[in-house]
Amino acid sequence: MIADTLLILFISIVTALLGEGLTWILVYRMEKYKKLKSEVEKQSKKLEKQKEAIGTEASERSLKKKLERQEEKLKTNNRDLSMVKMKSMFAIGFAFTALLSMFNSIFDGRVVARLPFVPISWLQSISHRNLLGEDYTDCSFIFLYILCTMSIRQNIQKILGFAPSRAANKQGSGFFSTPTPVGK
C-alpha cells in the first residue's frame, strides 16, 4: 500500500512539473503574456495604493471617477491576460484529463492509503470512489491525487515564480471577477 501512496505522490509531482513546463512553453514565455502580466501587476499595486489613500482623505468625485477608469482598464487587461492563457490552458487541461483517466483506471478499486480520519459524507464519494466495503478510512487514488496536487502545484508555481502577485489576486483576475468597490 505504501508503494502506491508514494507512487501517487511522485505522479503528482511529475504532473505538476509537466503542467507548469507546458504552460511555460505555451503561455508564460510569450512576450504578450509577460507584458500583460507586468501591466496588470503594476496597475493592481497602483490601484491598491490609491484605494487606501481615498479611504483616509475627503472623497472627491473626480478622484473616484479616476479610480473607476483605472479599474476598468485593469479589468480589460485581466480579460486580455485570460484570453492569452485560455486556449493553451484548454489544451493542457484536456491532455491532463486524459492522463488522469488513465491513472484512475490503473488504480481503480485499489486502496492506496489509510486515512487517519473519516471524511465528511459528501467527501466520501471522492475518498471512497470505486472502493469495496464500508470502511471510509480506505483512500482511493483520486482523493490522494487531488490533495497532493493542491499542495504540490501551488508550491511549484511559487518556487518557479509563476504564481500571480497578491495585488493582482486582490483586484480580481480573469473573466469572472467583479471589481472591488471604490472607497470604503
Residues of the shown chain interacting with another protein in the complex, contacts defined by CB under 8 A = 1-2, 5-6, 9, 113-118, 139, 144, 147-148, 150-151, 154-155, 158, 165-166
Residue 133 CB, nearest distance to another protein (Å)? 13
Query: Toward another protein, which CB reaches closer, 67 or 168?
Result: 168
Euclidean distance between CA atoms 85 and 177, whole angstroms: 16
Query: Toward another protein, which CB reaches closer, 32 or 166?
Result: 166
Tell me the residue type at 18: L
Residue 16 CB, nearest distance to another protein (Å)? 12
Residue 111 CB, nearest distance to another protein (Å)? 8
Query: Toward another protein, which CB reaches closer, 41 or 80?
Result: 41
Cell matching residue 115:
486515512
Residue 5 CB, nearest distance to another protein (Å)? 5
Q: Are 138 and 111 in contact (CB under 8 A)?
A: yes
Identify the helix (H) or strand (E) that includes residue 48: helix 31-56
Q: Are 138 and 114 in contact (CB under 8 A)?
A: yes
Euclidean distance between CA atoms 165 and 183, whole angstroms: 22
Query: Toward another protein, which CB reaches closer, 87 or 114?
Result: 114
Query: Toward another protein, which CB reaches closer, 2 or 58?
Result: 2
Identify the helix (H) or strand (E) that includes residue 69: helix 61-106
Residue 150 CB, nearest distance to another protein (Å)? 4
Q: Where are the beta strands (DSSP E) in 4-117?
A: 113-114
